[in-house]
Each structure stands twice: as C-alpha cells, then as structure tokens.
Amino acid sequence: MEIAFILTSKITELTIIVLLGYLLVKSKLLASKDSYPLSIIGLYIISPAVMINAFQIDYSPELLRGLLLSLVMAVILHIILIITGMVLKKLLKLDPIEHAASIYSNSGNLIIPLVMAMFGQQWVIYATCFIVVQTFLFWTHCRTIICGKGAIPLRSIMKNINIWSIIIGATLFAFQIKLPHIIQGTMTAVGSFIGPNAMLIAGMLIASIPIRTILSSRRIYLVTLLRLIVIPLSLMVIIKLCGFANYAENGETIAMISFLATISPAAATVTQMALVYGKDAQKSSAIYGVTTLLCVITMPLIIALYQLF
C-alpha cells in the first residue's frame, strides 16, 4: 500500500504541473502551439538522455533475467491489448481515434518519472523494454489504425531517436562501457525534466480544448473508462494468474513496472499522429486531457488492488 501512496503523491505533483501549463495558456502568456518546442526538447534531448543513462549500470545474471522477463511481459501485454482492442472495436463500434487511445498508454512520458520516484534510477531500465515494443507498434499497428492500411514506415522507425538511444544504451551496457562522470551527471540532470516537461505540454494542449467539447461527449468518457479502469483490471487478472513475478529475482517489482506502463493515460503519440495525418485531433486531445487528469485517482487505486491481490 505504501507504493500506492507514493504513486498518489507523485502523480499529484505531476498533475499540478499540468495545471500550471493550462494556466500559462489561459492567462495568454503562451499559446498551445508554444508547446511544440518543449515537445522537440523532450523527444530529442530529455528522453534519449534518460534511455542511455538507464543502461549505465553494472551487469549481473539477475539483471539479465529481469530484462528478459520485462521484454516477454511487454510483448505478451501488447498482444493482449491489440486483441482486446479488436474485440472492443466491434462491440462498442469504436472509431479509429477511440480504438487507438484505448489500447496505447502514455508509458514513456509518465512511467519513467514515476519509476524513478517510486523505485529509483536503477529500475528505469526495466521500463525501457515496454517502451521499445510500444514505440515499434506506434509506427506500425497504431499508425494503421489511425490512417488505414498502407506501407509500414520502417524508415521512420529506424530514424526514431529514442530507438537509437536504446540501441546505444544497450550496446554500452553489453560491453560495460561507462560514460565519464560529467556526461552521466549531465544526462541525469537533463533526464529529471522528463516528467515536468511532459506534463507542461499536456496542460498547454488541454487548454486549447473547449470545455463543452469534453462535457458533451459520452464517447470520451467511454474511452476513459476503458483506458483507465476496464483494460487495467483485465490485465491485472492476467498478470496475477500467469505468475510473472515468480520468473525472476525482484520479479514482483519488475512485473509491477510493466503493469504500471499499461494503466497510464492515453498516449500523447495518438494525438500527435491524429494531428499529422489530418484526423480528429481535437477528440484525441480531449481523451488525452481527460485521462491525464483522472489518472491521479485511478492509477493509485489500481496499484493498491494489484498489491492487495
């Protein structure tokens, strides 16, 4: 239960930062479009620094087994999410934005700062496996949902700086190459901005959404219910029944980190894709905003249930 309280405290802190971003726009000090430079900073500087720094740890057989467990869980959980999304699409007649938002979580921007706060920097490496699998699926499966069938943009995947940062970090880890302390210290300092930066961006984007758009759409709350409650509870049962926590040393913590990545708000990437490809970006932003604000309540409750059972 202590972890649930820590999670509540950390998410509350991040939610306050969301409100600060919201107030910046509403007070007309900045416009929502001014969040773009922050997105560039997050994508090209902060996130790669966190990824590379996560692999700057000493090798051990226990660590390798933990990474394998994390990778296997990431693949299995995404397969379940994709199948669940297909079923929900047919049952509830979800449109492409609703379908993608119900499946894909904001694991990168939110989970890394939460893992750092709850467990420590050394545990971030276990969150990277989920992010690697999700990043690949973002540019294949998720893009297909939003844009329809078409050629898979493998070039876009290979040019993704976050993928390259993980490859670089994994290579340094494999050969146990340690970066100079001044470089590692710089990356640690830069990486500490990942949570606040992402939440400021979220607040600035939410500020551009008319309140009536959110209040008048039952579909937004349907997707919120699926993303924050129905799907997390279903995955919790599966994880517990499969006993993933028993397959590695510190398996309970590793399994919880993987589970934590699946119960976060709708992915910001879905909104970005909707904007880039001319889809319903306003609806996607509304789902992103509502799930981000309500996760301060749902995530601690879901984790408390996870620990209870």
92-140 per-position pLDDT tens digit? 999 999 999 999 998 877 888 888 888 887 898 898 889 888 888 887 8
* Residue carrying structure tokens 């989970």: 111
Say if residue 191's pLDDT is above 90: no
Is residue 153 very low, low, confident or very high in pLDDT (cuts 50, 70, 90)?
A: low
Please give the pLDDT value at position 283.
Answer: 83
pLDDT band for position 195 (cuts 50, 70, 90) = confident
**pLDDT for 307 beyond 70:** yes
Contact 230, 45 (CB under 8 A): no
pLDDT bracket for residue 144 (50, 70, 90): confident
Q: Give the C-alpha separation, 17 to 34, whole Å.
A: 16
Q: What is the pLDDT of residues 26-49, one digit of tens each?
A: 999 999 888 888 888 887 898 889
149 pLDDT higher than 90: no
Q: Which of 277, 292, 280, 263 is nearest to 96 (CA)?
A: 280
CA geometry: angle 245, 250, 251, nearest 5 deg? 20
pLDDT of amino acid 273: 76
CATH code at 2-308? 1.20.1530.20
Residues 285, 206 contacting (CB under 8 angstroms): yes
HSE (side-chain half, CA atoms, 13 Å) at 167: 8
d(Cα 7, Cα 102) in Å, to the nearest integer? 22
Q: What is the CA radius of gyration of the chain?
A: 19
Confidence class for position 150, pLDDT limits 50, 70, 90: low
Mean pLDDT in residue range 41-69: 88
pLDDT for residue 118:
85
Query: What is the DSSP-derived secondary structure letter of residue 43?
Result: I
For the chain, percent of residues with pLDDT exceeding 90: 41
Q: By C-alpha distance, which of 287, 290, 202 is closest to 21?
A: 202
